[in-house]
Amino acid sequence: MKLIMLGAPGAGKGTQAKKIAEKYGIVHVSTGDIFRANIKNGTPLGMEAKKYMDAGGLVPDELTVRILLDRVAQDDCKNGYVLDGFPRTIPQAEVLDQELTKLGDKIDYAIDVNVPDEAIVERMGGRRACVKCGATYHIVNIPPKKEGICDVCGSELILRDDDKPETVQKRLDVYHEQTQPLVDFYQKKGVLKEVDGTKQMQEIFDEICGILG
């Protein structure tokens, strides 16, 4: 089973990807993690990517796909994988598609966790992070025992710049411009499945399991 998770930043696709990987015995592949691992281990692909990153540029799609295919070719991905954070753009999706076709392979489902922008802005605006230990909370969903204070170390909780409404809206604008077209791309391929991301986490997961069987 080969899956792609789609959804705006803050839609909760990473959480669902982990739960899917656990239930179905497949690998949760986060592109951020692969890049970090390749760079840390000094692999040829990692060093190539690092050159672009050090220069402040974007890693070319072709190289990103090579790094990704190298990861999913490993033994632990034999049963399948769920891609989280890739592809982000149509060119990336096209390169991935071409390379998988060469391997006689394809994506089974692209699952879109659909959440309206205003719900995401509200959700992210409720996040709080500990300035000291980095523990995260949500004022509605996972509140600390004492308001504004970390349960773990007793330090102050803050609203990170990343989670401020104006920053979140900017990230959503970029998402709609670059990544939203992927929904149409995978719909045309007949593999798109949409779930309502405004529901409770377990309800969303149950809906996904209903699709995957």
Cis amide bond preceding 181, omega within 30: no
13, 19, 71, 128: which is the annotated catalytic residue? 13
Contacts of 53 (CB under 8 A, 6+ apart): 39, 59
- Based on the residue annotation, tell me whether 66 is a catalytic residue of this protein: no
Indicate if 123 belongs to the active site.
no
Active-site choice (18, 50, 66, 88): 88
Of 160, 164, 170, 193, which one is the catalytic site residue? 160
Interatomic CA distance for residues 82 and 84, integer angstroms:
6
Of the candidates 19, 71, 127, 128, the residue annotated as catalytic is 127
With CA atoms as reference, report the closest residue to 80 among 145, 26, 9: 26
Distances (CA, A) of 28 to 1, 10, 17: 12, 18, 6
Q: Which residues, 6 or more positions from 205, have their beta carbon under 8 angstroms from its beta carbon? A: 16, 19, 20
Catalytic (active site) residue 88: yes
Choice among 18, 66, 164, 171 that is catalytic = 171
Instruction: List the catalytic residues.
Output: 13, 88, 127, 160, 171
